[in-house]
């Protein structure tokens, strides 16, 4: 792969910073690197290959002359700047939700539907973090047994709501430890310190949250099963990074737990963390900073028959976001 002139938009956020670390650690062929963020981050310098690169404000035309841009900002920034960059010949890998529902834009987890990358027209979408981790874990079962239905309850870290939410969790936890009122939440919809709440993204009255809708819509696209029945309950937990999920999956053909362990053990992107004695399981504390999506606690389902129940855990900022984006770029 020839070296690329690269840009990172939203470089100062939690995903942007992780992306810089991953580009460096994986020795991605970067010919040049330009960093962008909102105006209030101008002047910030971020480390990359021994240098400290200054962050510029994103503006019309900022991305001209680049071969490849990673967007790690919100959907509004992506809608304004990504299509223009693509028109100028820059390939954009966008981490926001802006283009995930656009059927002209491949929505890609390389281990699962990497063949979709070739069809891009300048824009590619990185899926929602929870959808990426679930797709990675489900793919080995899909390939052998077919997926018929899915019930998932998530345990999502503060990192999914960005750096401000992580800072708010730390601050509120300390206040509660010190016997103080944590005060009203700002980055999150409720106080997260020593608490959990089933409210990730926007809550739609009487229906799924926006996160639950994303998981359903994006998993259906990534797995190429547009009618797959999915029940998701997305819950924020007081963890800094790494999303977890309790998954029950209905299959077309029976796979017993021992066979499932063998499938997971051989699957790209998956770390089997449920030894022959079943005593292991992945946790956020162990998987923070790890690349793999851990799978453990694999059991036969009593309700979805044939089916399996398992536990999965992966770093939201890595496989759930920045790593997946870099993997797409490597596959281009």
Helical residues (DSSP H) of 9-74, grouped into ranges: 14-25
Q: Catalytic: 72?
A: no
Q: Which of 10, 106, 160, 208 binds a second copy (CB under 8 A)?
A: 208
> Applying CB under 8 A, does 196 fall inside the site for a second copy?
yes
Q: Does 233 bind a second copy (CB under 8 A)?
A: yes
Token representation of residue 211: 């996160």
> Closest separation between CB of residue 155 and a second copy, Å?
5
Cα 63 versus chain centre, distance: 24
**Beta carbon nearer to a second copy, 75 or 203:** 203
Residue with smaller CB distance to a second copy, 111 or 172: 172
Tally the C-alpha atoms within 13 A of residue 62's C-alpha that lie toward its C-beta.
25
- Give the interface segment with a second copy, choosing from 10-18, 129-137, 229-237, 315-323 (CB under 8 A): 229-237
**Does 284 interact with a second copy (rule: CB under 8 A)?**
yes
Please tell me the distance from the alpha carbon of residue 165 to that of residue 233, in angstroms, as a whole number.
20
State the Cα–Cα distance between residues 313 and 285, nearest whole angstrom. Answer: 10
Does 198 sit near a second copy (CB under 8 A)?
yes
- Please identify which residue in 136, 159, 248, 271 interacts with a second copy, judged by CB under 8 A: 248
- Of the two residues 46 and 157, which places its CB atom closer to a second copy in the complex? 157
Give the burial class of 87: count Cβ atoms within 10 A of its Cβ; 0-12 exposed, 13-18 middle, 19 or more buried.
exposed
- In this structure, the strands spanning 45-48 and 51-57 are antiparallel
Closest to a second copy by CB, 180 or 305:
305
Phi, psi for residue 69 in degrees, rounded to 5: -130, 130
Complex with a second copy: residue 21 or 171, whichever CB lies closer: 171
What whole-number distance in Å separates Cα of residue 323 and Cα of residue 133? 11
> Is residue 186 at the binding interface for a second copy, with CB under 8 A as the rule?
no
User: Does position 238 bind a second copy by CB under 8 A?
Assistant: yes
> What is residue 174's DSSP assignment?
H
Site for a second copy in 9-48 (CB under 8 A): none
- Spatial distance between the Cα atoms of 61 and 65, rounded to a whole number of angstroms: 9
Query: Smallest distance, Å, CB 156 to a second copy?
Result: 10
Among 62, 126, 136, 309, binds a second copy (CB under 8 A): 309
CA–CA distance from 163 to each of 166, 169, 186, 211 (Å)?
A: 5, 10, 12, 18
If binding is defined by CB under 8 A, does position 132 make contact with a second copy? no
Does position 281 bind a second copy by CB under 8 A? yes
Is 292 in contact with 314 (CB distance < 8 Å)? Answer: yes
Q: Of 81, 120, 139, 243, which residue is the catalytic one?
A: 243
- Residue 81 catalytic? no
Segment near a second copy (CB under 8 A); pick from 31-39, 71-79, 84-92, 246-254: 246-254
- x/- map, 144-183, a second copy, by CB under 8 A: -----xxx-x-x--------------x--xx--x------
Render 204-241 in DSSP notation, one character per residue.
PTTS-BHHHHHHHHHHHHHTT-TT--EEEE--B-S-SS
Burial of 183 (0-12, 13-18, 19+ CB in 10 A): exposed
Catalytic hit among 129, 234, 293, 313? 129
Which residues are annotated as catalytic? 129, 243
Interface residue list for a second copy (CB under 8 A):
149-151, 153, 155, 170, 173-174, 177, 190-191, 194-199, 203-208, 229-231, 233, 235, 237-240, 244, 246, 248, 250, 257, 277-279, 281, 283-285, 296-299, 301-305, 309, 311
């Amino acid at each position: 792969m020839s070296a690329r002139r690269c840009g990172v938009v939203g470089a100062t956020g939690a995903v942007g910073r992780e992306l810089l670390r991953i580009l460096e650690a994986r020795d991605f062929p970067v010919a040049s690197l330009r960093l962008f963020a909102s105006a209030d981050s101008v002047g910030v310098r971020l480390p990359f290959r021994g240098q400290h690169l200054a962050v510029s404000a994103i503006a019309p035309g900022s991305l001209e002359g680049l071969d490849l841009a990673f967007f790690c900002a919100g959907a509004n920034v992506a809608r304004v700047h990504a299509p223009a960059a693509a028109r100028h010949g820059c390939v954009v890998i966008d981490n926001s939700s802006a283009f995930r529902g656009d059927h002209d834009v491949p929505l890609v987890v390389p281990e699962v539907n990497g063949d979709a990358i070739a069809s891009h027209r300048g824009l590619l979408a990185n899926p929602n973090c929870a959808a990426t981790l679930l797709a990675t874990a489900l793919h080995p079962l899909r390939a052998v047994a077919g997926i018929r239905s899915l019930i998932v309850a998530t345990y999502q870290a503060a990192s999914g709501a960005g750096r401000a939410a992580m800072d708010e969790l730390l601050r509120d936890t300390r206040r509660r430890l010190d016997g103080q009122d944590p005060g009203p939440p700002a980055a999150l919809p409720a106080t997260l310190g020593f608490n959990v709440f089933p409210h990730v993204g926007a809550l739609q009255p009487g229906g799924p949250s926006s996160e639950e809708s994303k998981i359903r819509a994006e998993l259906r696209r990534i797995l190429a099963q547009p009618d797959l029945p999915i029940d998701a309950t997305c819950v924020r937990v007081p963890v800094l990074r790494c999303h977890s999920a309790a998954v029950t999956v209905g299959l077309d053909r029976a796979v017993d737990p021992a066979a499932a362990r063998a499938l997971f053990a051989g699957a790209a992107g998956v770390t089997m963390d449920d030894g022959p004695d079943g005593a292991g399981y992945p946790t956020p504390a162990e998987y923070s900073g790890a690349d793999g999506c851990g799978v453990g606690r694999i059991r036969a389902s009593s309700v979805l028959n044939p089916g399996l129940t398992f536990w999965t855990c992966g770093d939201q900022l890595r496989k759930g976001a920045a790593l997946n984006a870099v993997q797409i770029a490597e596959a281009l």
